Structure 1
Amino acid sequence: MNNAAPAPVRTRGRPRGNPPTRESIVSAARSLFLERGYRRTTLRAVAGAAGVDPALIAYHFGSKKGLFADVMQFQCARALTVDDVLDGDRAALAERLIDAVTDLWEDADFRRLTIQGDEAAEVIREYLERELLTRLVEFLGGGDATARATAVVTILGGLIYTRYLNPLPTPAALTPSEVRRILAPPLRAALAPSSYRGSHQNLAERLPGRLRPSVASAVVPD
């Protein structure tokens, strides 16, 4: 009786070992986007850096835009962990949300990726909607959770747009502590179910006069 182990069966396709993964492609793409920018980075260059066939990138990500979206989402998730923001004293949630946004832009790599134009802005919007808005609705609970979470994300979206993506002089000049002092009250009002309906209509009035012309229109929901 032959007890020897059977010889491994040779199969067609990619050699066995450590096959390239989505993570390795995203890592290679991230380095190239940071080095060359979005427009000068080609899928062929990413494939070469990751050691994969370009067709594999198309299979996983669909297009360069899809690949860039994954890179941006990776960078967002690395710099802004929603679980960490929601964990802790609920009374200080407004301040943690503001700090999460301002800290996100302290990440040098994230700042370099956000200057890639409309592609970056679209990914950030999708990340806020998918990750933060959805998680906030679950976290807040109650019949008005969606409205409250929407008000919060609208305020933070206004901060992101007027301070970072399309900076206006006054918001861009504020220090992080000033941003916290100015936006914490309307955020707390949006987060509080008992005061939501009254404060929802007066978020602009809670902002100092010097900010109302530039930020109020961006942060107050329709």
Structure 2
Amino acid sequence: MQLSAAMRSETPAGALLQSRSSTAPQQPILSGRPGKAPRCACAFSDTARMLHDAGARKGSMHICTYNDRGNTMGSPTGLDKRRFRRLDVARDVTVRIESNGKKTGLPESLQASCRNLSLDGLCLETSRLAHGAVKLLSGRRGERDYRLSLEILLNPQDPPFQARGEVCWYNVDHSATDFIYQIGVEFVDLAPQSRTMLKRFIRKYCRPRSPLQIIKSFFVRS
């Protein structure tokens, strides 16, 4: 999708998420074609309305919005963050980008923190995000152009947990004090040995839910 010069001047090239220092929190948007994964375009404020009007005329654009507290809204292609039971746990994660020889303009590896995880994926948190990181969302779900190689030390006495995954959603939480950016990663082709290790870890630390919590989970999807 081509952006006009005025639109490009409003949004820094490759910026994925809204800056924390912004005086008036706005709703970032992610655009793509209906029924397909979001493509590499992100803008704010008046640009959102311009893109929406253009899509309405051409009948080819879908806009997914996210509110200023980081809750995903109206995303037909993003992973439902409450679809799987997750264990809230803090662990350091080493992330490497599998570029397959492509030039991404991103660092080859970065350090992040795990916010929670399940057998199907995890939520990463970081205080900063490199420009151009929107590229990690390019391509169809399950066929992203770039994938991530993850390494987590779940237990000091065990070897590191290793997995590959793809980015399926992102949030920005303006109420956070340290980790403002949240990135959802869905595991891809998780090896049986890694799945067994993760299942054992979750089973050990995941507390049983009360009947009230189970009932509330059917109604709360925030």
Q: Taking CA–CA contacts closer than 8 Å with sequence separation of 6 or more, which of the two structures ends up with the larger relative contact order? A: 2
Greater C-alpha radius of gyration? 1
Higher percent of residues as helix: 1
TM-score (norm 1): 0.26
TM-score (norm 2): 0.26
